Chains A and B, each alone.
Chain A
Amino acid sequence: MVDFAGWNMPVQYKSIIAEHMATREKIGLFDVSHMGEFLVTGAGAHDFIQYIIANDLNRLATADRALYSQLCYEDGGTVDDLIVYRRKEDFLLVVNASNIDKDWEWISSHASKFDVKLTNISDQLGLLALQGPQAVPLLSEIVGEWVSQLPSFGYGEATIDGTSFSFGRTGYTGEDGFEIFVPTAKAEWLWNLLLERGQAKGIEACGLGARDTLRLEAGLPLYGHELERDISPIESGLGWSVKPDKGDFIGREVLAKQKAGGLERQIVCLKGTGKAAPRQGYSVFHGDKEVGKVTSGAPGVFVGYPLAFALVSMPVTKVGTELTIGIRDTKVPATVVNRPWYKRKK
């Protein structure tokens, strides 16, 4: 067990490789109750969120849809990345566990100009992620066939045995599946129910270790690695989720410039060679010149080769560029490849 943002959580239940493969091929269940949840209500909720996030909230045409975005500083650096749920009565923001206090302070500090009420409900909500090709069939069996009709980033609610819970068709593994919000007191009940009902489908309880290797292989950024106080979402390669044209928001000016091509460095995906894995902090070279550092690295458990996100200087960010990674006393060849390394078959 490791201490993670004050939570006592297992890195693995069985083995990272077994849990990773179960999620790719069958189904994995993750306890991510440490994540933070803030409720935003009031007449100004829409405009307020539009002002603090970099993505365009108007991309959610109806209620019960979710959006991936980031909170940015004026200089374009990242406060956090998050998922915004537009629900019928309110908005729900889901943020990273290690950033809950910082985010709450940041968001609160900008709320005074808007007619909004903010509530930190992180302690009241458990969050379980059900991920993998069998996730939709399993939740369909338990909740009803209709959940299979939810679109990607759709949101639904259900009641079982008198307990109400809700879920988004979202995840952090590269697989289809759901992230399920449940009252904290009922989280263990739902965890056990899903494990029991999922047994015939090969469900595995998965820890933080597999969560990290799965998100990495799927090319998803992790705050503290690919996103940081001084790494903007554009630098992180998330330009698709930054919408400077939507109107005023915090960080707009810098992000618009960066998006228009004003980047000095960028996060790239590297396909490694050999058996030793790149790790965070290892140097990346172009010829003899150091051009950046690895931000996350691991053996690609499913794809079968070492992989790494690295923050490197322009212009060596082009797909196909041959770089090397300093692993102990050798420089191991690595190629810039398209994101992500792993994409599920639809």
Chain B
Amino acid sequence: MLSHPDELKYVKSHEFVSVEGDVATIGITAFAADQLGDVTFVELPKVGEKFKTEQKFGVIESVKSVSDLFMPIAGEITAVNENLNSEPELVNLDTYKGGWMIKVKIENAAEVASLMSAEDYKKFIVD
């Protein structure tokens, strides 16, 4: 059973957002990881880069596919998960913890409030 925890926020491009103060941790959802299959490579931005909402921030490759990663909210990159360089499979195995991709300094707190709840996201992926 795929898990989409209640305490996280979600977007239609299948990224999750975990908010702590003014920092958001971003990765892809369990649904997306399952659809991609074995993740083999994650290309991430550099710390200090700034992105707008829905702007492409990286690329994720599985054995069979290549997909872009999109910013759920606007902000500046404060950290990237270097572990994914050597262990991209963390995205499949530990999606919301070890599989996180970037941390972002939230530019506009109002954006966070507009993101989907777990309940909304689960409805979205069923449709």
Binding site for B on A (CB under 8 A): 11-12, 15-17, 209, 212-213, 275-277, 279, 298-299, 301, 328
With A and B bound together, what is the CA distance between A136 and B2 in angstroms? 38
Top 5 closest A-B pairs, CB basis?
A275-B41, A16-B63, A17-B38, A299-B40, A15-B38
User: B41 to chain A: which residues have CB within 8 Å?
Assistant: 275-277, 299
Contact B64 A16 (CB under 8 A): yes
Contact B40 A12 (CB under 8 A): no
Most chain A beta-carbon neighbours within 10 Å: one of B41, B63, B92: B63
Contact B38 A298 (CB under 8 A): no
Contact B66 A279 (CB under 8 A): yes
Which of chain B's residues has its CB closest to A210's CB?
Answer: B63
Q: Known interface pairs A11-B37, A12-B37. Does A213 touch B43 (Cβ–Cβ under 8 Å)?
A: no
Binding site for A on B (CB under 8 A): 37-38, 40-41, 43, 59, 61-64, 66, 85, 88, 92
Contact B61 A276 (CB under 8 A): yes
Which of chain A's residues has its CB closest to B42's CB?
Answer: A275
Q: Known interface pairs A16-B38, A275-B40, A277-B41. Does A11 touch B64 (Cβ–Cβ under 8 Å)?
A: yes
A sample of 19 cross-chain residue pairs with beta-carbon separation below 8 angstroms, ordered by A number, consists of A12-B37, A15-B37, A15-B38, A16-B38, A16-B62, A16-B63, A16-B64, A209-B63, A209-B64, A212-B64, A213-B63, A276-B41, A276-B59, A277-B40, A277-B41, A277-B66, A298-B64, A299-B40, A328-B43
Contact B63 A298 (CB under 8 A): yes
User: B37 to chain A: which residues have CB within 8 Å?
Assistant: 11-12, 15-16, 209
With contacts A16-B37, A16-B64, A299-B63 known, what are 9 further pairs, Cβ within 8 A?
A15-B38, A16-B38, A16-B62, A17-B63, A276-B41, A277-B40, A299-B41, A328-B43, A328-B59
A3 to chain B, nearest CB (A): 15
Contact A276 B43 (CB under 8 A): yes
B99 to chain A, nearest CB (A): 15
User: B43 to chain A: which residues have CB within 8 Å?
Assistant: 276, 328
User: A12 to chain B: which residues have CB within 8 Å?
Assistant: 37
B123 to chain A, nearest CB (A): 22
User: B40 to chain A: which residues have CB within 8 Å?
Assistant: 275, 277, 299
User: A328 to chain B: which residues have CB within 8 Å?
Assistant: 43, 59
With A and B bound together, what is the CA distance between A235 and B102 in angstroms? 45
User: A277 to chain B: which residues have CB within 8 Å?
Assistant: 40-41, 61, 66
With A and B bound together, what is the CA distance between A12 and B63 in angstroms? 11
With A and B bound together, what is the CA distance between A301 and B64 in angstroms? 11
With A and B bound together, what is the CA distance between A298 and B88 in angstroms? 15
With A and B bound together, what is the CA distance between A197 and B59 in angstroms? 42
With A and B bound together, what is the CA distance between A17 and B93 in angstroms? 14
User: A299 to chain B: which residues have CB within 8 Å?
Assistant: 40-41, 61, 63
Which of chain A's residues has its CB closest to B89's CB?
Answer: A17
User: A212 to chain B: which residues have CB within 8 Å?
Assistant: 64
B102 to chain A, nearest CB (A): 18
Contact A301 B63 (CB under 8 A): yes
With A and B bound together, what is the CA distance between A109 and B64 in angstroms? 37
With A and B bound together, what is the CA distance between A279 and B67 in angstroms? 12
B31 to chain A, nearest CB (A): 16
Which of chain B's residues has its CB closest to A17's CB?
Answer: B38
